Amino acid sequence: MKFLNCEIDLSRPKVMGVLNVTPDSFSDGGKFNSLDAALRQAEQMVVSGAAFIDVGGESTRPGAVQVSLDEELSRVCPVVERIAENLDVIISVDTSSPELMKESVALGAGLINDVRALQKTGAQLMALSLGVPVCIMHMQGSPEMMQNNPSYNSVVDNVTGFLVGRAEQLIQAGFDRDKIIIDPGFGFGKTLEHNLQLLNQINDLVNAQLENTRLPVLVGVSRKSMIGEILDKPVNERMIGSVAAATIAAYKGASILRVHDVQETVDALSVVQALLEG
Ligand code: 9MG
């Protein structure tokens, strides 16, 4: 897949490091220190082997309240700018806001990661005009309400149908097929049972055909409540469970793993890669 200044071979699984820039993410004081801390964390993830850094200023956790556009811009833009100036990595911007898409691509972001699949007013048109690859995600409901009794006839069919249908709409609107990544949205309006069915059958999504080709699949399970529920452990004790789930997804064909624990996941993916090549 072609990004701003480089091409990434997604036939081998790649790691996307998560960089949350919400106020509670870096508790070391003022703005300058927070920026420095964000850059150091991004640098560490790049050294550990991340191909992408996903920068997000809006919490999309279940029950999270929305932040204002100004707040999101002021959290994300300086971090995108600093990473673009200092690191050789593809910057993904985790946003549904067309204004932030525009600002961050101008500052050097090379991928738009939208948990709302470009369905917010103006997002699709903006992403099209910017011309960078996009990741579209499935979510049932909205972050405020999505875990209030989610239900499906068949979660795998429903999620696959939505993502392939949405990709088709984007292509018809002028998007390049080679610039679309799809994501089942683990934990976004899904029970543990739904998440496990999706993980178990992630190869169905990987193999879903759109005009005789497949779309790369991004999987984000890192530290999520599905891992917490399985292990009965708090968020700071979910690393091994998260790596295990990412490993399964990669073995079944996922192309990008969105994770907090980059080095551990990169090592696990090397084992997957050796097995697949062997
Ligand atoms: C921002 N964000 C949180 N979880 C995510 C997931 O699973 N996928 C993508 N694409 N973005 C996510």
pLDDT for 2-44, tens place per residue? Answer: 998 789 999 999 999 999 998 766 544 445 568 999 999 999 9
Given the CA of residue 114, which atom of ligand 1 is nearest to it? 10
| 166 a catalytic residue | no
Given the CA of residue 94, which atom of ligand 1 is nearest to it? 1
Q: What local confidence, expressed as pLDDT, does residue 274 receive?
A: 95
- The three-class DSSP label of residue 189 is coil
* Spacing, Cα 190 to ligand 1 middle (Å): 13
Q: SS3 breakdown of the chain: % helix, strand, coil, rounded to 5?
A: 45, 15, 40
Q: What local confidence, expressed as pLDDT, does residue 211 receive?
A: 83
Convert the pLDDT of each residue in 126-149 to its tens digit. 999 999 999 999 999 888 887 888
Point out the catalytic residue in the list 75, 224, 238, 252: 224
Convert the pLDDT of each residue in 190-233 to its tens digit. 999 999 999 999 999 999 988 888 999 999 999 999 999 999 99
pTM for this entry: 0.95
Counting every residue written for the chain, the total comes to 278
| 14 a catalytic residue | no
- Which protein residues are within 6 Å of ligand 1, measured from CB? 56, 60, 94, 113, 115, 135, 137, 183, 185-186, 218, 220, 258
Asked whether 8 and 92 are in contact (CB, 8 A), the reply is: no
Distances (CA, A) of 258 to 50, 96, 145, 158: 10, 17, 23, 22
Parallel/antiparallel/unpaired status of strands 256-259 and 218-219 = parallel
**What are all long-range contacts of 57-62, with beta carbons under 8 Å and residues at least 24 apart?**
57/20, 57/21, 57/22, 57/94, 57/95, 57/100, 58/22, 58/94, 58/95, 58/96, 59/20, 59/22, 59/143, 60/115, 60/143, 60/188, 61/143, 62/143, 62/146, 62/147, 62/187, 62/225
pLDDT of 276 > 60? The answer is yes
Given the CA of residue 224, which atom of ligand 1 is nearest to it? 4
Q: How far is CA 157 from the centre of its chain?
A: 21
Q: Average pLDDT in the 73-101 region?
A: 97
The CA distance from 187 to 61, in Å, is: 9
* Spacing, Cα 147 to ligand 1 middle (Å): 15
> Which residues fall within 8 angstroms of residue 107, CB to CB, at 6 or more apart?
77, 80, 81, 84
